[in-house]
Structure 1
Amino acid sequence: MTDIIFSELSCKHGCKIGVIELNKPKALNALSLNMIRLMHEKLIMWASDDNIRFIIMQGAGDKAFCAGGDVVSLYHAIKSSTEAKAVLNDYEIINNPSGEFFTLEYKLDLYIHEYTKPILAWGDGYVFGGGLGLFAGATHRITTEKTIMAMPETAIGLYPDVGASWFLNQMPNNLGLFLGITGAFFNTADAKYLGLSDFSIESSKNKTLINELCQVDWTVQNDISDKLDNILRDFESNSCSVMPVSKVQENESIITSLILHNNIDSIYNTIVNASFEDKWLRTAQQKLYSASVLSILITYKQLELSKNFSIAECFEAEKNLSYRCCQYTEFSEGVRAQLVDKDKNPQWAFNKLSDINPELIQWFFTKVTNT
């Protein structure tokens, strides 16, 4: 079974819709390096095919659009390379499969953000990490009543990447910082409020929507985006009754009070020591408490540094930072504990933020050189 399926749906007058389906439902459609390569190649080909009017991205099965990158494979690539070494040097990490993964993943994500044709992303079920990186750049982003989004990287010793330096900073009232350091889950109503979803449509309407899209005359190219908007708006208007309420918006005043401080130590201590009545806030608090404090500090610094970056600059900075994370033990240990051995007991390098040497943090943000 192939991990990714490409197809072309026929419409009127020879027009076609390109379809990308991530096809690893048992692995929640986790992105592998090969899937990233194939998707990028196909999008480049479709960009120059005049018959392809727009693209649909979706995940196979009923559980996930994409629950992130295949970090287990990255773990094994790093581990096999570092068994006889304390750390991979800059040249080795750039040319390691893990370094290649991040390079090509970010290149694909940026290409989606800059794509010349509309992309409709069907974000049903889990949309985590690398899945959100694919989803965020689409022009027509659909979430459903089953959508669960998150950037949970601090739980595995990483940081919110795949363009999160951009889209977390675009969220109102610095809510992206809270979601980035806690890895809190959020739903379709949250995603719309935060600017990560354009339409909320009932999950069961997927096939009906695609069938209707195939009946439309897409001949006039400059009308495509507006026509998609109108069709998706109609589907959304018939889906309102099944949609959840926004937990982020419901708790926004509390969240903003928690992150008022101008340093991560105060923000972290305020959140972990707070007493919450709301279950969603308590869950976010527990995620923060269990996460790597090194990752939390890196996340805070990366979001601060990238506040005025362009989307391309964000991806370039993330690529460098991800190389560094692959050179340090925290990422491998987090993946080992959460996804490989699954003992859920990562032995983090530091117990407290105050234990972390500022020089180490500075190292993470120094330029990796291929020499």
Structure 2
Amino acid sequence: MSDAAVLFDEVPAKAGRIGRVTLNVPGTLNSLTLDMVDLLQAQLDAWATDDDIAAVFIEGSGEKAFCAGGDVQALHRSAVEQPGGPCDYAENFFAREYRMNYTLHTYAKPIVCWGHGIVMGGGLGVMAGCNHRIVTEATRIAMPEVTIALFPDVGGSWFLNHMPGQAGRFLALTGASINAADAIYTGLADRFIASEHKGAVLESLLQQGWTLDPAENHALVRHCLRPFAERSLGSVPAAQVEPHMATINRLCDGDSVHEVIDNIIGQQTDDPWLARARDSLAHGSKLAALWIDRQLWETRHASLKEVFQAEIQLATNVVRYPEFAEGVRALLIDKDRNPAWQFEHSRAVPDEVLDGFFRAPWDANPLANL
């Protein structure tokens, strides 16, 4: 296999071709770099206008991960090299990554995402943007940005706000890990297919009589995937989110975000999934918890375009602020898991500090022309 970070192939089908994309950095769990984002954007743009390409199939190399997120260590270097900003690499990365995510969300042709293994952060941004999203028995999804003082970006402000009840708010604040059944329930995935069927799924896609009409080709993808999903019903893991929805809704029913944080951190539970969620928020940045919650509130009625424009504003302000660099240092650089957060409690954060993250740091939004 090539050592290129992203592999592209055009596979001849019964009629037309399938564009195949493989994120190919298994050593870093296929984490996205700026170069990978640019390669994806260029290829998606080329295939969008190529009549020979009927559909796209996106996968990750290796069995461990589809994509574990963005290259956070590179973002950290950018933040510490230019404290207070502009943090050129990080800000360029966010702007181009979000543009690529928007391209996925608005792509006319079918894009089948094989979301096997770890799907986190930027990887979830890729999967969520595709229009035929498959999860398997090995899928593990999380947006644990509260632990490094970031926020669920890459369209998280869109898909978290479209989840049932208070599920999106709870997952955003706690970074709780979810599985394939949860992904289907929360709208992050479309079908569960056992991983053993991957080769047969690809072969079935290649046997379809693709046309020049994207709508007809979407129907062909559904026709292809449906029997594999039906065959896989016995392999679906036990759900975690849906059985806990009454508790999630109760915990998130506070008079303020501070009460919600108190409810989650203060719960006495023997349930291992709820306990891990509680502990993640307890050890995370309380400042980040506040900007995470406010971002969701401010974008709750936003269009997809407005969501990405709001996310690039918040991401730019976050990466210029020292809390993010400290969070990454403690979790991923020094790995002491002992971050020196600026505020011990959410109520200690001054309003003017939080407000500053929601003011434009430049004259023109880099994604104004999406």
Rounded to whole Å, the distance in 1 between the matches of 2:254 and 2:211 is 53
- Select which of 328, 344, 364 maps to 1:335: 328
Corresponding letter in the other structure for 2:27: K
Give, in angstroms, the shift of residue 224 of structure 1. 1.0
1:358 is the counterpart of 2:359: no
Give, in angstroms, the shift of residue 216 of structure 1. 1.7
What count of residue pairs does the alignment treat as equivalent? 361
Corresponding letter in the other structure for 2:12: S
Give, in angstroms, the shift of residue 12 of structure 1. 1.6
The equivalences for 1:1-371 within 5 A come to: 1-13=3-15, 15-82=16-83, 87-88=84-85, 92-93=86-87, 96-219=88-211, 221=213, 222-370=215-363
Rounded to whole Å, the distance in 1 between the matches of 2:6 and 2:331 is 26
Rounded to whole Å, the distance in 1 between the matches of 2:196 and 2:113 is 15
Give, in angstroms, the shift of residue 243 of structure 1. 1.2
Give, in angstroms, the shift of residue 70 of structure 1. 0.4
Q: SS where residue 173 of structure 1 aligns?
A: coil
Give, in angstroms, the shift of residue 79 of structure 1. 1.5
Rounded to whole Å, the distance in 2 between the matches of 1:260 and 1:355 is 21
Q: SS where residue 167 of structure 2 aligns?
A: helix
Rounded to whole Å, the distance in 2 between the matches of 1:188 and 1:115 is 24
What is the root-mean-square deviation of aligned Cα atoms in Å? 1.1
Identity of aligned residues (%): 39
Deviations 1:135-181 (A, max 9, x none): 11111000001101111111111011111111100001121000000
2:368 corresponding residue in structure 1: none
Report the TM-score, using the length of structure 2 for normalisation: 0.96
Rounded to whole Å, the distance in 2 between the matches of 1:356 and 1:317 is 21
Indicate the larger mover: 141-150 or 206-215: 206-215
Corresponding letter in the other structure for 1:159: F
Residue ranges of structure 1 left out of the alignment (5+ in a row): none
Rounded to whole Å, the distance in 1 between the matches of 2:139 and 2:167 is 19
Rounded to whole Å, the distance in 1 between the matches of 2:180 and 2:4 is 30
Indicate the larger mover: 72-81 or 297-306: 72-81
Deviations 1:13-34 (A, max 9, x none): 3x00001110011101000000
Rounded to whole Å, the distance in 2 between the matches of 1:325 and 1:254 is 31
Deviations 1:68-102 (A, max 9, x none): 000101111221223xxxx22xxx34xx1111000
Give, in angstroms, the shift of residue 105 of structure 1. 0.5
Residue ranges of structure 2 left out of the alignment (5+ in a row): 365-370
Report the TM-score, using the length of structure 1 for normalisation: 0.95
Q: SS where residue 8 of structure 1 aligns?
A: strand
Q: SS where residue 46 of structure 1 aligns?
A: helix
Rounded to whole Å, the distance in 2 between the matches of 1:219 and 1:272 is 53
CA contact (8 A) 2:109 2:217 kept: no
Q: SS where residue 9 of structure 1 aligns?
A: strand
Q: SS where residue 261 of structure 1 aligns?
A: coil
2:367 corresponding residue in structure 1: none
Corresponding letter in the other structure for 1:355: A
Q: SS where residue 49 of structure 1 aligns?
A: coil
Rounded to whole Å, the distance in 1 between the matches of 2:33 and 2:212 is 36
Q: SS where residue 292 of structure 2 aligns?
A: helix
Q: SS where residue 254 of structure 2 aligns?
A: coil
Give, in angstroms, the shift of residue 253 of structure 1. 0.7
Corresponding letter in the other structure for 1:174: Q
Corresponding letter in the other structure for 2:282: Y
Corresponding letter in the other structure for 1:329: P
